[in-house]
Amino acid sequence: MAMENIQMVDLKGQYDKIKVEVNSAIQSVIDSSAFIKGPALKKFQKELETYMAVKHVIPCANGTDALQLALMGLNLKPGDEIITSPFTFIATIEVIQLLGLKPVLVDIDPDTFNINPENIKKAITSRTKAIMPVHLFGQCANMDKILELAETHNLFVIEDTAQAIGAKYNFNNGRTGKAGTLGHIGTTSFFPSKNLGAFGDGGAIFTNDDELAEKLSIIANHGMKQQYYYEQVGLNSRLDSLQAAILSVKLKYLDAYNKARQKAAAYYDTAFQENPQISPPFRFKNSEHIFHQYTLKVKNGKRDALKHFLNEKGIPAMIYYPVGLHLQEAYKNLGYVEGDFPITEKICTEVLSLPMHTELDELQLKYITESVNEFFK
Ligand SMILES: *Cc1c(COP(=O)(O)O)cnc(C)c1O
């Protein structure tokens, strides 16, 4: 039965449907032997610029590098403060700390799981230089309010779009744009399980600012402007041609992939409508949700028991994320203690992400949702 191989993410099933196209793209890169900075990279870069409706895409080695490069492009000084969320993947604050900048964490909105603009406002000081909203699980943070704060206080906005590539955002004034192109810089990841996943690591940066785009591509290439002349310290951060060729093929299907995720999410939503013990993902009115994760809130302390129950029935379910970043061992130096971010801390005990990918079929969805509801009977 198909039930025996329900997966959190089914990369093999997705690949099988585009195998001929992907294999031929890979073969043509191998035949050309242009593995680094070949025509396949340029092609993908242009295609992604068109898809994102952004002036510049700077491809790089992974989503973590994309964040680091973005910060390196802003002429920041040690001790400058970057405001972000404690409820995200570690990469977001890791790069801030690595660069000698100061991550300033603020609590999230309990419905969307995204950074709460009211809390950003209270955390702004004379040393604040940037806000880094993370569009968590596939849905945008409140960019109307974040951009308004940034403008008032003259701050950069770097959107971590690793989990939300393709999500559309509707501003209150009617303007629309894609996640990652709304602020000054957007970053994304092509980690295989992301909505647009490569067959290895990859990442990209988005910006509409010509000067910044040039600077970022120089930093991503060792800080080299003219061959063997270095104008600043850089990184070696490249997207290789094989990954670019694979991503070119997959980009054509990204909207369909995101729709397939939305369809699975709608099935889940309907099935959980009558279950008062769990809250399905909240929909923020200004943002499309492309369901990088389908994350429930499980009430009354039953989350871990539900996870165990599902796992026993062959259904994977994951906790993203079990501990707020403010309480992580490696970031003790920031001086945060338990109780600093009560919403994040509570959410960490309630969240449970169900299988979410492009290949979920109705039989699997039925089995998963019936199992969840059975647990509460
Ligand atoms: C995956 C992810 C990253 C890092 O991307 P990598 O390509 O794995 O380096 C950064 N931020 C968020 C929110 C992510 O989910």
Output the CA 83–ligand 1 centroid distance in Å: 17
Token pair belonging to 20: 């001929």
Output the CA 282–ligand 1 centroid distance in Å: 22
Q: Which of 327, 338, 334 is nearest to 103 (CA)?
A: 334
- Please give the number of the atom of ligand 1 that sits closest to the Cα of 91: 10
**Burial class of residue 322 in the structure, from the number of CB atoms within 10 Å of its CB (0-12 exposed, 13-18 middle, 19+ buried):** exposed
Residue from 67, 134, 139, 163 to probe ligand 1 pocket by mutation (most atoms less than 8 Å from CB): 163
Classified as helix, coil or strand, 129 is: strand
- Please give the number of the atom of ligand 1 that sits closest to the Cα of 65: 9
Output the CA 108–ligand 1 centroid distance in Å: 19
Token pair belonging to 209: 């600012």
- The finding on whether 160 has its CB within 6 A of some atom of ligand 1 is yes
Tokens 């040690």 sit at which residue?
78
Tokens 């980690």 sit at which residue?
191
pLDDT of residue 1: 45
**93/87 Cα distance (integer angstroms):** 10
Q: Which of 178, 185, 188, 190 is nearest to 249 (CA)?
A: 190
pLDDT of residue 113: 98
Q: Cis (ω within 30 of 0) for the bond into 321?
A: yes
Provide block-wise average pLDDT over 10 residues at a time, the chain (377 residues): 79 97 98 96 98 98 98 96 98 96 98 98 98 98 98 98 98 98 98 98 98 97 93 95 98 98 98 96 98 97 98 97 97 96 98 98 97 96
**What residue ranges define each of the domains in the chain, with the CATH number in brackets?**
11-251 (3.40.640.10), 254-375 (3.90.1150.10)
- The finding on whether 87 has its CB within 6 A of some atom of ligand 1 is no
